[in-house]
């Protein structure tokens, strides 16, 4: 009998050892998701949706300042897991906002650090534990949501909390290795920042090179199984000088590519550094701009920044739904919001605009929806919003713009936002039209915004719906045509007013690449378009530091 027991135990062990383990990380995610859904179906309140997303980031880089190395990242790697677990139904679930004195957005996603080793058992153990945590929290949330709905006024938007999706499947080979020659890039950031030593009033001079390799795995209870991989390389140049009155004067340049070979060569970067230093010297002696109302031209690059800030955020779908949002365009679908010669689209499938590679490219969004081009405005008429899987009245489905950084809730976000003009004039003609507008307005000049660093805007209804954009290089264009550099300018206003005052577009096109840090975290974006003439803008004086220029002469002056 003892012998038979031993045989039976051996047979059981052998059978267990022959059970096939998941072959890949994606397989392990699929197996554990299916098991979790099957087990949770036995609970009184079962999830109606579950998804896992794991993002692996491998990075390297180097930073230099004034010809010396500040830091060097020879390689780091991490994985973060995000879980979306929903109880209730598509109409009302645990993610619904709690309305009250302060509107609370219920926690939907949670982010957890994962093993960087492809051990299926370890991966599944972590998924099991974190899913259990999420489920318990989701049940508590749903109870609070249902109570809140019963005691609060009926909501304006009748659409639900989530939209059904297609279970997309896609897999590609891993992104190429970063291929960074660390020693070479340490030398490059020294080389790029050494020229700033020659200028005594430049107190910040930095070159930062970063290389990132991002691999994403996504599975859902709808059958989605996605694996994508992208590389991104960036070089950012930052410099600050100070005018004699204490005003800080910034200059930035940045370069982006999906390949190392796509970044500019040393000679091109050093030419950009030379221009930055000359611009800072000119800004130091430029007159301070007084508050002004009058006509202005945006360069193509400036058009991209301005539209990203004051237009793009207002066509992100959730801003037309939430009761605490200003809902700028909620009732303007099918109505004119821009001049008829302008259209606007968001296209995450675009790799380039002209010769500029676009950072807002991706294949699938963070909810597993395939990236797609969205025509937002057609010939001046508002047509669509940038949608995640959070529906709004009249727009029940996602259009591939549900985006987030690890640890944040998904929201409708911009990708590559492009302004297109069906009727254009030359750059010289646009300048002539500016001068004509200045004469009509009886002002001595118009403004030309050559470069803009960024900005911020308020879209909530509890604050004024205004914007502030931070220009770097601004010129006054006088009635006789001559131009004068000025400093200390902030572009301000209200969005709907500015949009109605766009008069003409030039025949040029450019784009900027950046990182946008809205409510779903920092995500890479791009925006671009033609140069635009606006009949009336308003500028105010930039805040000024109370600290004067350094009393001590810089050490470079002793050479």
Q: CA 558, CA 447: separation in Å to the nearest integer?
A: 40
Rg (CA), the chain: 27
pTM for the full model? Answer: 0.90
Strands 374-378, 411-412: pairing is unpaired
Strands 532-541, 489-493: pairing is antiparallel
Q: How far apart are the first and last CA of the chain?
A: 96
Q: CA 236, CA 256: separation in Å to the nearest integer?
A: 9
Domains of the chain from N-terminus onward: 21-59+74-171 (no CATH), 182-285 (3.30.2290.10), 292-541 (no CATH)
Q: CA 559, CA 297: separation in Å to the nearest integer?
A: 43
Q: CA 523, CA 189: separation in Å to the nearest integer?
A: 25
Query: According to the model, what pLDDT value does residue 540 have?
Result: 86
Phi-psi sector, 457: left (phi>0), alpha (psi -120 to 50), beta: beta
Query: According to the model, what pLDDT value does residue 544 have?
Result: 64
Query: According to the model, what pLDDT value does residue 3 have?
Result: 39
In 88-129, the DSSP E strands lie at 109-114
Query: According to the model, what pLDDT value does residue 550 have?
Result: 67
* Matching residue, tokens 């008069």: 503
Per-residue pLDDT of the chain (559 residues; tens, 9 = 90+): 333 333 333 233 333 333 456 778 999 999 999 999 999 999 999 999 999 999 999 999 999 999 999 999 998 999 999 999 999 999 999 999 888 756 666 565 568 999 999 999 999 999 999 999 999 999 999 999 999 999 888 888 899 999 999 999 999 877 788 999 999 999 999 999 999 988 878 889 999 999 999 999 999 999 999 999 999 999 999 999 988 888 899 999 999 999 999 999 999 999 999 999 999 999 999 999 999 999 999 999 999 999 998 899 999 999 888 776 777 888 899 999 999 999 999 999 999 999 999 999 999 999 999 999 999 999 999 999 999 999 999 999 999 999 999 878 899 999 999 999 999 999 999 999 999 999 999 999 999 999 988 766 666 555 656 677 889 999 999 999 999 999 999 888 777 788 999 999 999 999 999 999 888 999 999 999 999 999 999 998 776 666 666 666 667 654 4
Strands 532-541, 411-412: pairing is unpaired
Under 8 Å between Cβ of 360 and 403:
no
Q: Which residues of 320-338 are buried (b: 16+ CB within 10 A; e: fewer)?
A: bbbeebbbbbbeebeeebb
Q: What are phi and psi of 122, to 5 degrees?
A: -65, -40
Q: CA 177, CA 507: separation in Å to the nearest integer?
A: 39
Query: According to the model, what pLDDT value does residue 518 have?
Result: 85
CA dihedral (289, 293, 297, 302) in degrees, to 10, reads 70
Q: CA 338, CA 326: separation in Å to the nearest integer?
A: 19
């Amino acid at each position: 009998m003892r012998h038979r027991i031993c045989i039976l135990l051996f047979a059981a062990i052998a059978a267990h050892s022959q059970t096939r383990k998941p072959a890949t990380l994606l397989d392990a995610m699929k197996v554990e998701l299916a098991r979790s859904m099957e087990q949770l179906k036995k609970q009184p309140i079962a999830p109606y949706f579950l998804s896992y997303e794991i993002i692996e980031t491998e990075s390297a880089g180097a930073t230099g300042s004034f010809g010396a190395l500040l830091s060097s990242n020879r390689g780091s790697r991490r994985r973060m897991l995000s879980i979306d677990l929903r109880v209730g139904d598509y109409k009302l679930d645990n993610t619904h906002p709690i309305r009250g004195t302060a509107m609370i957005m219920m926690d939907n996603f949670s982010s957890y650090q994962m093993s960087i080793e492809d051990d299926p058992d370890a991966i599944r153990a972590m998924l099991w534990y974190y899913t259990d945590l999420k489920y318990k929290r989701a049940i508590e949330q749903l109870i609070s949501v249902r109570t809140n709905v019963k005691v609060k006024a009926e909501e304006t938007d009748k659409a639900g909390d989530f939209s059904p999706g297609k279970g997309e499947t896609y897999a590609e080979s891993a992104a190429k290795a970063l291929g960074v020659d660390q020693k070479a890039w340490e030398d490059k950031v020294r080389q790029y920042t050494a020229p700033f030593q020659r200028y005594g009033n430049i107190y910040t001079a930095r070159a930062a090179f970063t290389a990132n390799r991002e691999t994403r795995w996504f599975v859902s209870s709808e059958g989605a199984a996605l694996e994508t991989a992208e590389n991104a390389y960036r070089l950012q140049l930052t410099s600050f000088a100070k005018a004699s009155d204490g005003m800080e004067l910034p200059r930035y340049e940045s370069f982006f590519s999906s390949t190392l070979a796509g970044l500019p060569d040393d000679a091109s970067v050093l030419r950009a550094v030379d221009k930055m230093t000359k611009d800072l010297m000119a800004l130091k002696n430029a007159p301070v701009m007084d508050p002004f109302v009058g006509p202005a031209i945006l360069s193509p690059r400036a058009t991209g920044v301005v539209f990203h800030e004051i237009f793009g955020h207002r066509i992100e779908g959730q801003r037309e739904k939430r009761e605490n949002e200003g809902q700028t365009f909620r009732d303007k679908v099918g109505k004119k919001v821009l001049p008829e010669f302008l259209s606007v689209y968001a296209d995450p499938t675009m790799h380039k605009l002209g010769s500029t590679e676009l950072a807002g490219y991706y294949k699938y969004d963070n909810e597993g929806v395939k990236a797609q081009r969205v025509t937002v405005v057609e010939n001046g008429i508002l047509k669509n919003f940038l949608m995640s899987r959070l529906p709004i009245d009249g727009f029940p489905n996602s259009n591939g713009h549900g985006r987030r950084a690890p640890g944040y809730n998904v929201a409708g976000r911009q990708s590559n936002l492009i302004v297109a003009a069906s009727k254009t004039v030359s750059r010289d003609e646009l300048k002539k039209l500016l001068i004509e507008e200045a004469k009509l307005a009886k002002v001595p000049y118009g403004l030309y915004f050559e470069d803009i660093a960024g900005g911020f805007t308020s879209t909530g209804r509890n604050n004024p719906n205004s914007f502030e954009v931070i220009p770097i290089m601004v010129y006054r264009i006088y009635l006789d045509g001559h131009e004068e550099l000025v400093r200390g300018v902030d572009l301000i206003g209200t969005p709907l007013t500015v949009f109605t005052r766009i008069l003409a577009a030039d025949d040029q096109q450019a784009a900027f690449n950046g990182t946008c840090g809205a409510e779903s975290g920092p995500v890479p974006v791009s925006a671009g378009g033609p140069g635009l003439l606006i009949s009336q803008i308003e500028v105010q004086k930039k805040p000024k530091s109370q600290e004067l220029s350094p009393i001590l002469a810089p050490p470079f002056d002793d050479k």
